[in-house]
């Protein structure tokens, strides 16, 4: 039974590949690139740079390990997947997660700004903070970022360690922290 399920899954993959190739076949290289750029963005698939579209793609090198932004199945991690894995509970934690994603997973750059927060909070399905312009200064005050000026912030070692080693946080039993009820004197 498992073998037939794998076969069906493989058939679906081949069918999807054929549909994509057929849809792209009448387009020139720039048009293909625009379509692929849009699809990658829509699916939150990071690009390691511009794709070079060739008629034949060389086979993968035997024994090569997947890139850091891919899991063992070759699937590229998305910001939503990372958020679901790390389960941030505050905008400060999510901001650190976004910075980690941009610098370590995508390898795009080592700084972020408020526009990045808006884009990636939405892609991850995380609630936007009430005041987006104050989100990064607040996360900096919490100790997760260093300010670079011009609205740019870089994840510092505290923020990095939070994402890599501190999340997800263990759920502890909540103990009420309110005042005790006063006992009545009789």
Q: Are 114 and 133 in contact (CB under 8 A)?
A: yes
> Residue 48 pLDDT more than 60?
no
**Residue 152 β-bridge partners:** 149
Per-residue pLDDT tens over the stretch 138-183: 999 999 999 999 999 999 999 999 999 999 987 665 555 556 556 6
Query: pTM of this prediction?
Result: 0.56
Mapped onto helix, strand or coil, the DSSP state of residue 21 is: helix
Q: How far is CA 26 from CA 16, 57, 122, 129, in A?
A: 17, 19, 34, 44
Q: Which of 126, 66, 130 is nearest to 96 (CA)?
A: 126
């Amino acid at each position: 039974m498992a073998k037939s399920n794998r076969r069906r899954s493989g058939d679906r993959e081949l069918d999807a590949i054929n549909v994509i190739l057929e849809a792209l076949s009448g387009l020139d290289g720039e048009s293909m690139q625009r379509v692929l750029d849009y699809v990658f963005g829509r699916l939150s698939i990071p690009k390691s740079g511009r794709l070079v579209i060739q008629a034949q793609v060389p086979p993968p090198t035997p024994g090569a390990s997947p890139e850091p932004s891919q899991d063992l199945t070759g699937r590229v991690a998305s910001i939503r997947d990372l958020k679901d894995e790390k389960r941030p509970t505050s905008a400060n934690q999510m901001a650190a997660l976004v910075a980690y994603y941009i610098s370590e997973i995508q390898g795009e750059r080592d700084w972020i700004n408020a526009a990045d927060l808006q884009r990636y909070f939405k892609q991850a399905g995380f609630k936007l903070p009430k005041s987006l312009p104050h989100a990064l200064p607040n996360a900096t005050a919490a100790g997760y970022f260093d300010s670079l000026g011009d609205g740019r912030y870089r994840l510092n070692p505290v923020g990095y360690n939070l994402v890599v080693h501190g999340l997800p946080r263990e759920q502890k039993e909540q103990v009420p922290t309110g005042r005790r009820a006063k006992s009545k004197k009789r």
